[in-house]
Amino acid sequence: MKIVMLGAPGAGKGTQAKMIASKYGIPHISTGDIFRANIKEGTELGKKAKAFMDQGALVPDELTLELIMDRFKQADCANGYVLDGFPRTIPQAEALTKALSDEGGKLDYAINVEVPDENIVNRMSGRRACLSCGGTYHVVFNAPKKEGVCDACGGELVLRDDDKPETVAKRLDVYHTQTQPLIDYYAGQGILKEVDGTKEVAEVFGDITAILDK
């Protein structure tokens, strides 16, 4: 079961990806995790990626794809995987399709967690992060016991720059321009499945498992 997760930033696709991975016993693969693991292990690919990251530059698509394909060869991917955060653009998607095809494989599902922009802005602007331990809260869905104070360590809770409405709006603009075309791309391949991400997390997961269990 080879799955790629789609959805706007803040749509909850990362949460769903982890739940899918846990239920079906397949790894949740994110590009950030791959970069960190390879850099920590000092692999050749990791050294190449680190050189770009140290300069504050994006890791090129070719190298990112090489790292991902290398990750797919590990034993825990024998029964599939959930890919989260890649591809983000049509060229990346086309390169992934070709690389998988060259190895005799293909994706089984592209699951799009659909959430309107307005909901996402409201969701993300309600997030609060602890400056001390990194814990995360939400003023509506997961409020701390005491406003502005972390339950775990008593640290100060803040609205991160990434979660400010104006920043979220910019991120959504980039998503609609670069990433949303992937929905049409995977629909054209006949593997797109869409779920309503405005529901409760457990309900969204139920909708996804109903698709995967068919």
Q: 20, 24, 46, 48: which is closest to 33 by C-alpha?
A: 46
Q: Which fold has domain 2-26+79-212?
A: Rossmann fold (3.40.50)
Q: What is the per-residue pLDDT for 57? A: 81
- Which residues does the annotation mark as catalytic? 13, 88, 127, 160, 171
Q: Which of 46-60, 95-109, 138-152, 200-214 has the lowest mean pLDDT?
A: 46-60
Q: What is the pLDDT of residues 4-59, one digit of tens each?
A: 999 998 899 989 999 999 999 999 999 888 988 999 999 999 999 999 888 888 88
Crossing angle between the packed helical segments 61-72 and 90-102, to the nearest 10 degrees: 40
Domain positions in the chain? 2-26+79-212
Cα 17 to Cα 6, 38, 83: the distances in Å are: 10, 21, 8
- pLDDT on residue 141: 84
Q: How confident is the model at residue 209 (pLDDT cuts 50, 70, 90)?
A: very high
- The candidate with the shortest Cα–Cα distance to 31, out of 120, 52, 193, 205, is 52
Residue 140 has pLDDT above 90, yes or no: no
**In whole numbers, what is the pLDDT of the chain averaged over residues?**
93
- For position 55, what pLDDT does the model report? 87
* Contact call for residues 204 and 124 (beta carbons, < 8 A): no
Residue 208 has pLDDT above 90, yes or no: yes
pLDDT, tens digit, 9 for 90 and up, residues 50-90: 998 888 888 899 999 999 999 999 999 999 999 998 999 99
Given this model, what pLDDT does residue 71 score?
94
